Amino acid sequence: MAKRDPFKYFNISREIIRLAVVLYIRFPLSLRNVEDLFHKRGIDISHESVRFWWQRFRRTRSSQKFAAVHASVFNHFNYERSLY
């Protein structure tokens, strides 16, 4: 059985959705900051769209793996920093 395409019903490209979700997960940015970054590059999206995409695609395998690796590196850095 073929897998369903999670980006099937969106009018915007899957690369933009992935980039918005990764920016929101990876960096300590607010939804409006992600919206501003895209506006500066000529892509008109709403912060509510970013929130919806994050809620929908945060459970995908690639974003879970990315967030887990980022969290472990971030926690390790803070742990080393607190020892000094």
What per-residue confidence (pLDDT) applies to 50?
Answer: 92
On whether residue 4 sits in a domain, the answer given is: no
On whether residue 42 sits in a domain, the answer given is: yes
On whether residue 77 sits in a domain, the answer given is: yes
On whether residue 57 sits in a domain, the answer given is: yes
Residue with tokens 């997960």: 25
On whether residue 8 sits in a domain, the answer given is: no
On whether residue 5 sits in a domain, the answer given is: no
42 burial type by CB count under 10 A (0-12 exposed, 13-18 middle, 19+ buried): exposed
Angle at alpha carbon of residue 40, lines to 37 and 43, rounded to 5° = 85
**Which parts of the chain have pLDDT scores under 50?**
83
Number of structural domains in the chain: 1
Q: How far apart are CA 37 and CA 23, in angstroms?
A: 10
Domain containing residue 73: 14-83
pTM above 0.95? no
What per-residue confidence (pLDDT) applies to 72?
Answer: 56
Q: How far apart are CA 34 and CA 20, in angstroms?
A: 7
